[in-house]
Structure 1
Amino acid sequence: MSADRPDGVLFDVDGTLVDTTYLHTVSWWEALRQAEHRVPMATIHRSIGMGSDKLLDHLLGPERDRGEDDRLRTAHDGFFGEYWERLAPLPGAAELLRACAARGLRVVLATSAAAHEVAALRAALDADDVIHTVTCSADAEESKPAPDILVAALEQSGLDAGRVVFVGDSVWDVAAAAGLDIPCVGLTCGGTGRGELAGAGAVAVYDDPAALLSGLADSPLVSRRRKSPTDKTDTQA
């Protein structure tokens, strides 16, 4: 096996493989509004990808009344749960996972979703036959942008940080990967722009899983050669 070839790929799920970023945005907006916190959806969207504790710090400030955090989380979960049966994979998501597995790469879902959400996400993906390991929020002491969930994914899958690539859709994903010096491929399908992902340190940026699949042979998922996000092979129409 080439020293430049990864052994596995860690995938974020929400907004990366399953089209949930804006559903989480609306769910948090409803939960916050219910508690009389008026936070613009655009501000909430830019926080999606953090764990709920850091998200609430970011939106309401660290000096907020933390006594209502559990109520806010429960409200968010209730609103988001209404979408579970309608969750949809992003274009090419399952096909990308299968293509990675066919190349001998270990496929790991490094998600910090709550355990009760993971089953719904996996059902939407419908690719359990090629998924080696799946994490959940309970596996990490600290949420993104801390790298704890990636550490858990590596430990559970038996992979080494120096032999993997992470695929995510938010700047918080890029930051978490950077904490372990793991190259992060960014996808814009979660609503974060190409320039923002590249500026955060993504080694390549694609529109969605289908675009990454189309360019898989030349992507960092196949070769650990660090590439600029503006490389021609990484620029999708």
Structure 2
Amino acid sequence: MSRFPNITAGTSQAATALLESAARDARKRRRPPLRHATRPGLLRSGAAGAARVDCHDDRSFADDFQFPLTSLQRHSGEDPHDMLHELLPGPHVTRVLGRIIEMHGKRYRQKYLQRVTAFSDVRTLFERVKRARRRIALATSASADELDHYLSLLYVGDLVDAVACGDDVQHDKPDSALIEVALLRAGKVAPEDAVMIGDTPYDAIAAKHARVRAIGMLSGGFSRTELEASGCAAVYRDPADFLAHYEETARLLA
């Protein structure tokens, strides 16, 4: 049997109920979510232009805030509020933040959500993990409704033991909150017994903050060097490549 640890993460009902109650309270206080063309690393985004700041649809904003996609790519997977504060320093953030949040969510759902497709072999990979009697949790900054759509594309809902999404936390990655929620919902899995799989440096940094080991994938547009520098113990091209090296990686992380 493979000795591969739990991949991010059944579920303690008491712990889950407590966590969900806390999450509801947090949602009353949290900042409005901005989803930066967010999709889990198991999916391909068809939104090549979605990363442009959505205020481009408003001519009063367009002349002030234009960013090349290469600049925005560096922030892919980052907490959107951190991203905006880096891209729009000073008073600009306060002036346009609410409008950007509103327009981005609407535009992404209308123009890009339906373009997302699943990588091949995702279900086969999940089945391999389950044969090793390991638990699987999804920790994604996508909103709950987006996650439902993504799960329908991946066809893995019956294999997932726990889910933590952007609606459950106040801060996205690189904050460790999503991973901590996923571990708790997966049955209080210890960090040292889990592995985080993601395709951005922010996934790896969040894993490090949660004391969880990380594996990277090149599907997020970042280089192998960037992912390794962020703390990934191994880096693969995509889920199919990871599946092909599953036993090798299990030995590495044993």
* 1:161 maps to 2:184: no
Q: How does 1:134-213 map to 2 (within 5 A)?
A: 134-158=163-187, 159-213=189-243
Q: Percent identity?
A: 24
Q: 2:66 aligns with which of 27, 38, 47?
A: 38
Mapped to 1, the partners of 2:81 and 2:184 lie a distance apart of 24
The alignment partner of 1:109 has SS state of strand
Match of 1:232 in 2: none
Cα root mean square deviation, aligned: 2.2
- List per-residue Cα deviations over 1:43-101 (Å, max 9, x = no partner): 11110101221121122226433243232122222222133333211232222122111
Match of 1:58 in 2: 86
Q: Which has the higher relative contact order, 1 or 2, with Cα contacts under 8 A spaced 6 or more apart?
A: 2
Give the paired residue count: 219
Mapped to 2, the partners of 1:94 and 1:66 lie a distance apart of 43
Q: 1:14 aligns with which of 23, 34, 39?
A: 39
Contact 1:54 1:143 survives alignment (8 Å): no
Mapped to 2, the partners of 1:74 and 1:89 lie a distance apart of 27
Structure 1: give runs of 5+ residues left out of the alignment. Answer: 226-237
TM-score, length of structure 1 as denominator length:
0.84
Mapped to 2, the partners of 1:218 and 1:171 lie a distance apart of 22
In the TM superposition, residue 223 of structure 1 has moved relative to its aligned partner by: 5.5
The 1:100/1:63 distance shift into structure 2, 3 A limit, reads: farther
Match of 1:230 in 2: none
Mapped to 2, the partners of 1:140 and 1:214 lie a distance apart of 34
* 1:86 maps to 2:92: no
Match of 2:51 in 1: 28
In the TM superposition, residue 143 of structure 1 has moved relative to its aligned partner by: 1.7
Query: Match of 1:54, as an amino acid?
Result: D
- Is the radius of gyration larger for structure 1 or structure 2? 2
The alignment partner of 1:42 has SS state of helix
Moved more, 169-178 or 43-52: 43-52
In the TM superposition, residue 165 of structure 1 has moved relative to its aligned partner by: 0.3
Contact 1:15 1:189 survives alignment (8 Å): no
The 1:94/1:73 distance shift into structure 2, 3 A limit, reads: farther
Contact 2:137 2:161 survives alignment (8 Å): yes
Mapped to 2, the partners of 1:95 and 1:131 lie a distance apart of 13
The alignment partner of 2:170 has SS state of coil
In the TM superposition, residue 224 of structure 1 has moved relative to its aligned partner by: 2.4
The alignment partner of 2:52 has SS state of helix
- List per-residue Cα deviations over 1:143-164 (Å, max 9, x = no partner): 2111111111111111211110
The 1:203/1:64 distance shift into structure 2, 3 A limit, reads: same
The alignment partner of 2:235 has SS state of strand
Structure 2: give runs of 5+ residues left out of the alignment. Answer: 10-37
In the TM superposition, residue 132 of structure 1 has moved relative to its aligned partner by: 0.9
Match of 1:106 in 2: 135
The 1:65/1:199 distance shift into structure 2, 3 A limit, reads: closer
- List per-residue Cα deviations over 1:192-220 (Å, max 9, x = no partner): 11111111111000000000001101114
Moved more, 52-61 or 151-160: 52-61
TM-score, length of structure 2 as denominator length:
0.79
Mapped to 2, the partners of 1:156 and 1:120 lie a distance apart of 21
